[in-house]
C-alpha cells in the first residue's frame, strides 16, 4: 500500500509540474475542469446517489455550469464578490461541522457541489492566469496545502493528544493542526524569498490558507461518514478519489486568491 501511494503521489506531482510549466495556461485550465468533473461524479456519491445514470447526469450538469462560467466570464477575470461567496459557503460548512452528526438533505449536498466545484475552477483559472507568477502561485498554493497536511500528520502522530473532531476524523488532533501550521510558516518564509516579497504578509496569508484547508478536509470527511463511504472513489491507487486529494485545496483556494489580489499590487 505504501509503495502504491508513493508511486501515485510521484506521478501526480510530475503531472502537476508538467501542466504548470510545460503546457499553456489554457491547457491547465481545461485539465483542472476535467479533474473537477471526476470530482463531480464522486460528489454525487456523497449525496448517496447510486444510479450510474443519475450520477452521469449530475456530472453533465457540472460540466454545463463550468462551461457557462467559461462563456460568461473570460478566464483570468473574477469578480471579488464570487470569491467572498465561495469563502462564505466554506464558512457555512465549518459551522455545520460543529453540529455533527447531522444528515443534510440530498438536494442541499448536490446544490453545494454545483456551487463549490465551479467556483473552485474559476478561482484556479484566475490564479493560473495571473500575469506575474501565475503557475508559481498555483504551485505555491499546492505546497502550502500539502505542508499543512504533512505537518499535521507527523505532529499528530508524535504529539497528538487532544482530538480536533473525533466524530468526523478521529485521528486529527489540535497538536497536529498546530504542527501543520508551523510547517506552513516555514514554507511561507521560503516562499517570500523565492517571490522576493515581504515575509510577514505572506506568512499570515499562508497560515490562513493552511487553517481553512482543514475545513475542506473535514467537510468532505463529514459527507463521507454520512454516506457510509471510506473514500470518495478508487480512481487514484492508494489515495482514494479525486475529492480525497483536493478537499483541502477546494476550501483554501478562495482565501489564497483573495490574498494574492490584495497583496500582489503592493509587492
pTM equals: 0.94
CB–CB of 113/48 below 8 Å? Answer: no
Nearest to 43 by CA among 69, 28, 63, 27: 63
Least confident piece of the model among 35-39, 218-222, 228-232:
228-232
Cα distance between residue 22 and residue 16, in whole Å: 10
pLDDT of residue 140: 97
Cα distance between residue 212 and residue 248, in whole Å: 8
pLDDT of residue 74: 66
- Mean of pLDDT values over 16-37: 93
DSSP character string of 171-211? EEEHHHHHHHHHHHHHHHHHHHHHHT--HHHHHHHHHHHHH
pLDDT in tens, 161-192: 999 999 999 999 999 999 999 999 999 999 99
Burial tier of 145 (Cβ tally within 10 Å: 0-12, 13-18, 19+): buried
pLDDT in tens, 234-244: 887 777 899 99
Query: Could you state, in order of their start, the residue ranges of all structural domains in the chain?
Result: 2-266
Q: How confident is the model at residue 95 (pLDDT cuts 50, 70, 90)?
A: very high
Amino acid at each position: 500500500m505504501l509503495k502504491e501511494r508513493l508511486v501515485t503521489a510521484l506521478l501526480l506531482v510530475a503531472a502537476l509540474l508538467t501542466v504548470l510549466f510545460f503546457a499553456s495556461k489554457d491547457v491547465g485550465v481545461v485539465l483542472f475542469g476535467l479533474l473537477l468533473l471526476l470530482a463531480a461524479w464522486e460528489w454525487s456519491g456523497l449525496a448517496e446517489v447510486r444510479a450510474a445514470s443519475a450520477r452521469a447526469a449530475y456530472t453533465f450538469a457540472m460540466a454545463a455550469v463550468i462551461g457557462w462560467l467559461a462563456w460568461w466570464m473570460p478566464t483570468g477575470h473574477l469578480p471579488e464578490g464570487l470569491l467572498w461567496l465561495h469563502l462564505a459557503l466554506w464558512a457555512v460548512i465549518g459551522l455545520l461541522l460543529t453540529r455533527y452528526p447531522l444528515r443534510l438533505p440530498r438536494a442541499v449536498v448536490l446544490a453545494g457541489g454545483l456551487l463549490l466545484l465551479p467556483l473552485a475552477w474559476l478561482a484556479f483559472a484566475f490564479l493560473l492566469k495571473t500575469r506575474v507568477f501565475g503557475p508559481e502561485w498555483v504551485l505555491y498554493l499546492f505546497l502550502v496545502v500539502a505542508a499543512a497536511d504533512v505537518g499535521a500528520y507527523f505532529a499528530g502522530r508524535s504529539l497528538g493528544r487532544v482530538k480536533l473532531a473525533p466524530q468526523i476524523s478521529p485521528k486529527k488532533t489540535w497538536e497536529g493542526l498546530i504542527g501543520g501550521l508551523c510547517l506552513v510558516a516555514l514554507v511561507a518564509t521560503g516562499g517570500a524569498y523565492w517571490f522576493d516579497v515581504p515575509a510577514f504578509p505572506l506568512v499570515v496569508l499562508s497560515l490562513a490558507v493552511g487553517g481553512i484547508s482543514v475545513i475542506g478536509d473535514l467537510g468532505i470527511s463529514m459527507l463521507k461518514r454520512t454516506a457510509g463511504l471510506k473514500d470518495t472513489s478508487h480512481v487514484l491507487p492508494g489515495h482514494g478519489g479525486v475529492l480525497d486529494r483536493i478537499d483541502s485545496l477546494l476550501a483554501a483556494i478562495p482565501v489564497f486568491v483573495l490574498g494574492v489580489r490584495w497583496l500582489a499590487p503592493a509587492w
